[in-house]
Amino acid sequence: MAEQTPEISFLPVPPRDELPEGVGRLWDKSQEAFGFIPNVFQAQAVNGDQFLAWWNYFNLLVNKEGYLTNAERELVAVVVSGLNRCTYCTISHGAALRQYSGDPVTADLVAVNWRQADLSRRERAMAEYAELLTRAPDEVGREDLEPLREVGLGDHEIMELVQVIGMFNMTNRVATALGFVPNEEYHSHARS
């Protein structure tokens, strides 16, 4: 299958029989669960073991039960990815945000500019911090955590939030550097 979709990355997708076992299992599982294999699973398989180690971390931090809700983490993902203009992450996590929030209008607005979206005070505080830490990581300080405290974030939530912001600053760069193309399914997912 990979051979037939060479245009999902600037690097060729490795043939399935050269992959570590865990990667193949993940491909199968996602094919079953979503009806398609996310292109990032194929594109990052170039270095299979590094991919699995990344996925274990990403999956725990972004997808599993955490201190912030899934919708909150996807909101941050879309804010950061939109700022970094990463097509793969903005489109795919836009789909996830629509699904978790059930609000496709707000999800579209957040992808362009969270300031003009109808967000709660807590969401705005997280979005504003995500923009600051993405744009000017050298200018943040202790005082910038105050607005997060004021909307109810404790130590665990703050630690998770900064990691999620950091994570998308990582994946945005990997995906854009290598030209990952989002699966078409993401564009229409959870729109109605």
Q: Name residues contacting its own copies, limited to 100-119 (CB under 8 A).
A: 104-105, 108-109, 111-113, 115-117
The residue range among 23-31, 34-42, 69-77, 183-191 that interacts with its own copies, by the rule CB under 8 A, is 183-191
State which amino acid sits at residue 130: A
Report yes or no: 77 and 168 within 8 Å, Cβ to Cβ: yes
- CA dist., res. 105 & res. 103, Å (int): 6
Mark residues 118-157: x for contact with its own copies by CB under 8 A, - for none: ---------------xx--xxxxxx-xx---------xx-
The residue range among 16-24, 33-41, 69-77, 176-184 that interacts with its own copies, by the rule CB under 8 A, is 176-184
Is residue 50 close enough to count as binding its own copies by CB under 8 A? yes
Which of 37/94 has CB closer to its own copies? 94
Is residue 65 close enough to count as binding its own copies by CB under 8 A? no
Is residue 99 close enough to count as binding its own copies by CB under 8 A? no
- Residue 61's Cβ-count burial label (10 Å; 0-12, 13-18, 19+) is middle
Measured N-to-C along each axis, helices 155-177 and 48-58 cross at an angle, to the nearest 10 degrees, of: 150
> Torsions phi, psi of 87, nearest 5?
-65, -45
Which of 32/112 has CB closer to its own copies? 112
Find the binder of its own copies among 28, 56, 150, 152 (CB under 8 A).
Answer: 56
Alpha carbon 22 to its chain centroid, in Å, reads 21
Smallest gap, in angstroms, from Cβ of residue 32 to its own copies?
24
Of 68-97, which residues contact its own copies (CB under 8 A)? 82, 84-88, 90-91
> What six digits make up the tokens of 185?
């399914």
- CA dist., res. 111 & res. 79, Å (int): 6
List of residues 6+ apart from 52 with CB closer than 8 A:
20, 22, 23, 26
Count the site residues for its own copies by CB under 8 A.
71
